[in-house]
Structure formats: structure tokens, C-alpha cells
Chain A
Amino acid sequence: EVQLVQSGAEVKKPGESLNISCKGSGYTFANYWIGWVRQMPGKGLEWMGIIYPGDSDARYSPSFEGQVSISTDNSISTAYVQWSSLKASDTAIYFCVRDGGNSGIAYWGQGTLVTVSS
């Protein structure tokens, strides 16, 4: 069974750094693109970017380019999104997904709530 299990909720202050993670299981992690989706409080879904674990090819949505960094550690089948300096506007739920292309996104992590507040 394909599963994506994300790290737990985080509470951070503005300016702090953060990594959140997404561990894949039930499939060959290196063979599928992993994407990240943001959902701000009470708002819709926003595509952040995507990475291919096989060669670490990462692509970013223009709104997120330079704001976050996406990476993987294939030895532990885990993808990450990283912030070097958080802002209050980064407060959101972040979902990792396994890309399905034109077959849609069938696999989602459970979401990680990030709260940034002074």
C-alpha cells in the first residue's frame, strides 16, 4: 500500500528556519515525482513545486521560487521542504503528494501544520 507520512505540526517564530518531511512507503521512492501543496488557513490549494528523487531534479512554481527549497534523502525514502527564514505568511498546512500526471494525484500525505508567530 502506497503511503506518504508527514512530520508533525511545528510552531516557529519569524526568521527561524524549518524542515518538514514526507516519508514514502509501499513503492519505489526514487521512481515517482513528489510534489508539495500549500493550503493557507481557510483557503484553497496552491502548487509549490516538485522533485524527482531519482536525480533530484526540482521544479518550483513561480510564487515559491527562492522562498523554499525541496530536496530528498533516497536512503530513507523521504522528501523535505525547507525554509531558511520563515515569515508569518508561511503559516499553512503543507501536503506532500505523489505525482500521477494526467491520472491525477491519488496519494497525499496527511498534511503538516506550520504556524509562524512571534
Chain B
Amino acid sequence: DIQMTQSPSSLSASVGDRVTITCRASQTISTSLNWYQQRPGKAPKLLIFAASSLQSGVPSRFSGSGSGTDFTLTISSLQPEDFATYYCQQSYTTLMYTFGQGTKLEIK
């Protein structure tokens, strides 16, 4: 199994801050890495696919980068609605995916 490790597990930040979340795969996954946002009581929402492609309708303050084993999600200027939990997910192993443990982004 490919293990996905996110850091940090939680993060406090203020509106307007630039924030970066990291995801590391236990083996190379090329660019088969997706990012999701989950607000309390809601289903996850796709933000970034294939490491760096912005999903339609997602604000441009979200961006992704990386390849191989190391990936980042960056939010350039935090907005109030961005305080949520973020997950990475590898789609390298066809049909048998794994998620990171999540990063909870809280208001400072």
C-alpha cells in the first residue's frame, strides 16, 4: 500500500495569510495526487487534481505543486471560508486509492 503523510496535522492562521500544506507519498506516484477540502458536516470537495490542475470553479488562490513523492497545497491569501480540513489523495494505484490523514486549518 502507498502511505500518504500530511504535515502539519493542524495549523492556525489568520485571514490574509499564505499557507502551505505538505503531503508525502511512501513511494513515487508521479503527479497522481489530488487535494480536497472538507468543511464540517459536508462531503469533501475536489480542489486540485493531477498535482497542479485547478478544478473548475475553485478560486485561484488555491494552487498545488510537486511530483514524485513530495507535494504541496498553497492557499495564497486565506479567506474565512477556507478554514476547514484538507486531505491529499493518491490516484497512482488504479482504483485503489489512499488519503492522507488530513490537515485541520483553524483561525488564529
Spell out A's residues near B (CB within 8 Å): 33, 35, 44-47, 50, 59, 61-62, 95, 99-106, 108-111
Known contacts A59-B96, A104-B91, A105-B36; can you find 12 more A-B pairs with CB under 8 A?
A: A33-B95, A44-B99, A45-B38, A45-B87, A47-B96, A59-B95, A61-B96, A95-B44, A103-B49, A104-B36, A104-B49, A104-B55
Q: Is the CB of B43 within 8 A of A104?
A: no
Q: Is the CB of B87 within 8 A of A44?
A: yes
Q: Is the CB of B34 within 8 A of A44?
A: no
B89, B96, B98, B102: the one contacting A104 at CB < 8 Å is: B89
> Residues of B contacting A106 with CB < 8 Å?
46, 55
Distance (whole angstroms) from the CB of B76 to the closest CB of chain A:
21
| Nearest 6 A/B pairs, CB to CB | A104-B49, A104-B34, A108-B43, A45-B99, A44-B102, A104-B46
Return the chain A residue nearest B34 by Cβ.
A104
Return the chain A residue nearest B87 by Cβ.
A45
Interface residues on B, range: 20 to 34
Q: Is the CB of A95 within 8 A of B96?
A: no
How many Å lie between the Cα of A101 and that of B96 in the bound state? 10
How many Å lie between the Cα of A5 and that of B33 in the bound state? 26
Distance (whole angstroms) from the CB of B50 to the closest CB of chain A:
5
> Residues of A contacting B99 with CB < 8 Å?
44-47
**What does the 1/0 interface line of B87-105 toward A look like (CB < 8 Å)?**
1010100111111111000
Return the chain B residue nearest A101 by Cβ.
B91
How many Å lie between the Cα of A44 and that of B88 in the bound state? 11
> Residues of B contacting A100 with CB < 8 Å?
46, 49
Q: Is the CB of B43 within 8 A of A50?
A: no
**Can you pick out 26 interface pairs between chain A and chain B where the beta carbons lie within 8 Å of each other?**
A35-B97, A44-B99, A44-B102, A45-B38, A45-B87, A47-B96, A47-B97, A47-B99, A50-B96, A59-B95, A95-B44, A101-B94, A102-B32, A103-B49, A103-B50, A104-B49, A104-B50, A104-B89, A105-B34, A105-B36, A105-B46, A105-B89, A106-B55, A108-B43, A108-B44, A108-B45
